[in-house]
Amino acid sequence: MTHFILYAIPIISSLEHIARNILDWIHTRLGITWAWSIVVLTVIVRILLVPLTVKQIHSMQNLQRFAPQMKEIQKKYKNDKQKQNEELMKFYRENNINPAASCLPMLAQLPVFISLYYALKQFSKHPPPGPQDFSWLHFVPNITWHTNTFWGGYVLLVVYVGSQMASTLFMSATADRTQRILFMVMPLVFVFIIARFPAGLVLYWVTTNLWTVGQGLITRRLMPRPAAPEKRTSRTPPKDDGDGGENGAEPKEPEPKPKPAAKAGPPRRVRRKKQAGRR
Amino acid sequence: MGAVTRVPGYLGVGLVWLYRVTFGALFPTTCKYHPSCSEYAIQALKTHGLVRGSFMAGWRLLRCNPWSRGGYDPVRPKTVEPR
């Protein structure tokens, strides 16, 4: 049903055309198979999105430093989701936090996804003239086939689930445990829907997920966590309770705080390590 | 306002739901605003109708970028008398 709705929109058909032309260009210019053209296209899209994702990873690292306070807020308002969210947003604003996740970068990938979906569908109906190689790495005989119609597709699906979970681990910014678990479980549910998609689309997905994981690993290693410009929150609290008190987030661990207060530098590092270890 | 005039807005709401159960679920992300962009879109479409609601939702999406601060940003109620 949705196919008809989407096809009725002229944008879809032009997107499909663009995707097909780009794939065609990569295929003929670079002289690679259609499957590898999809991988290259995915990499190009992700390279274009690098500035957005780097920014996101930075703000996520920043966000993690405030995890204890945020958990405290969540605990305090656990029965009132609306109030909890409002308080969290207030907390972000007061502490100058830029929450990592935002909808625009995710939406930027949507047109690529939709166009690829329809381009692959068209490929299976009207393949380009002449003998074509639609296989990939010997275990995917044809990327236009539905993923659940050949054994290699199942391998691809397993890789998809694994990569999706790993990328969720890196990119989901939410501190809410239930939400994190939900995001982790989702690929297991969606794998049944995705199984009916063309294998080339799953290939796109796997590539983009693996890119996310790689990017996460590299940024974590290469870029040190932001040099704590908002240190005031961890430095000042031992003296005056005002900082955490504003948000009702302070009373979590009253005893350990006064001890490290005398040496503000080292204990903070220890705390950060602990946080990193927990993740 | 009659029920008929609200139909286009509800069509928009239907599209947002379609997005939610398809891509929204496939590419999970948490929004930096509260209410989230899709919830905001639904509320805006219900309150302000298809045209204005769509513009409001579009503007919100543009604001929901890595450089913005996020935060509590509810849909402004209609200035005319409540239904």
**Chain A environment of B61 (Cβ under 8 Å):** 103-104, 107
Whether residue A186 and residue B37 make contact (CB cut-off 8 A), yes or no, is: no
Domain count, chain A: 1
Q: Closest Cα to residue A91, out of A226, A250, A222?
A: A250
Instruction: Name residues of chain B where pLDDT drops below 70.
Output: 1-5, 21-22, 24-30, 80-83
Amino acid at A52: L
- Per-residue pLDDT band for A24 (boundaries 50, 70, 90) equals confident
Helix axes A34-48, A103-125, angle to 10 degrees: 160
CB-CB under 8 Å, B65 with A105: yes
In a domain, A141, yes or no: yes
Q: Which two tokens stand for residue A267?
A: 């204990």
Torsions phi, psi for A158 (to 5 deg): -65, -45
Interface of A with B in 33-72 (CB under 8 A): 52, 55-56, 59
**Which tops the pLDDT comparison, A137 or A160?**
A160
Domain interval for residue A170: 2-222
pLDDT band at A177 (very low <50, low <70, confident <90, very high): low
Q: A221 pLDDT exceeds 80?
A: no
- Quote the tokens at residue A67: 């995890």
Distance from CA of A53 to the nearest CA of B (A): 8
Per the prediction, chain A carries an average pLDDT of 70
Closest CA to A205 of A255, A243, A268, A158: A158
- For residue A211, which of A99, A112, A66 has the smallest C-alpha distance? A112
Give the mutation candidate from A73, A103, A164, A182 for the B interface (greatest B CB count, under 10 A).
A103
Percentage with pLDDT > 90 across chain A: 0
Look at residue A261 in the predicted model and tell me its pLDDT: 42
Please name every residue paired with A146 in a beta bridge, in sequence order, or none if there are none: A198
pLDDT at position A63: 67
Looking at residues A219-248, what average pLDDT do you find? Answer: 48
CB atoms within 10 A of CB A278: 8
pLDDT of residue A231: 44
Distance CA A57, CA A219 (A): 8
Count of beta carbons in the 10 Å neighbourhood of residue A201: 20
pLDDT tens string A70-85: 778 877 887 777 777 7
Nearest to A98 among B27, B61, B69 (CB): B69
- Tens of pLDDT, residue by residue over A139-166, are 777 888 888 888 888 888 899 888 888 8
Does the residue A154 lie in any domain? Answer: yes
- B69 and A93: CB-CB below 8 Å? yes
- Model pLDDT, residue B59: 92
Contact in structure between A73 and A249 (CB atoms under 8 Å)? yes
Q: Which of A186, A166, A92 is nearest to B34 (CA)?
A: A92
Burial of A123 (0-12, 13-18, 19+ CB in 10 A): buried
Q: Which residues of A63-88 are buried (b: 16+ CB within 10 A; e: fewer)?
A: bbbbeebbebbbebbeeeeeebbbbb
Interfacial residues of B (vs A; Cβ cutoff 8 Å): 18, 22-23, 25-37, 61-62, 64-72
pLDDT at site A200: 85
Q: Answer yes or no: do B62 and A92 touch at CB < 8 A.
A: no
Q: Which residues of A touch B39 (CB under 8 A)?
A: none
How many of the other CB atoms lie within 10 Å of CB of A140? 22
Is A248 a residue whose pLDDT tops 60? Answer: no
The C-alpha of A146 sits at a distance from chain B's nearest C-alpha, in angstroms, of 18
- Quick check: A75 and A175 in contact, CB under 8 A? no
Distance from CA of B36 to the nearest CA of A (A): 9
pLDDT tens digits, residue range A38-92? 889 888 888 887 877 777 667 666 666 777 777 788 778 877 777 777 777 777 7
A271 is written with which tokens?
Answer: 């705390």
Q: Provide the pLDDT for residue A254.
A: 40
Q: What is the pLDDT of residues A178-209, one digit of tens each?
A: 666 777 777 887 888 888 888 888 888 889 88
Query: Does residue A166 belong to any structural domain of this protein?
Result: yes
Nearest CA in chain A to B64: A102
| Residues of B in Cβ contact (< 8 Å) with A99 | 30, 32, 70
Domain presence at residue A261: no
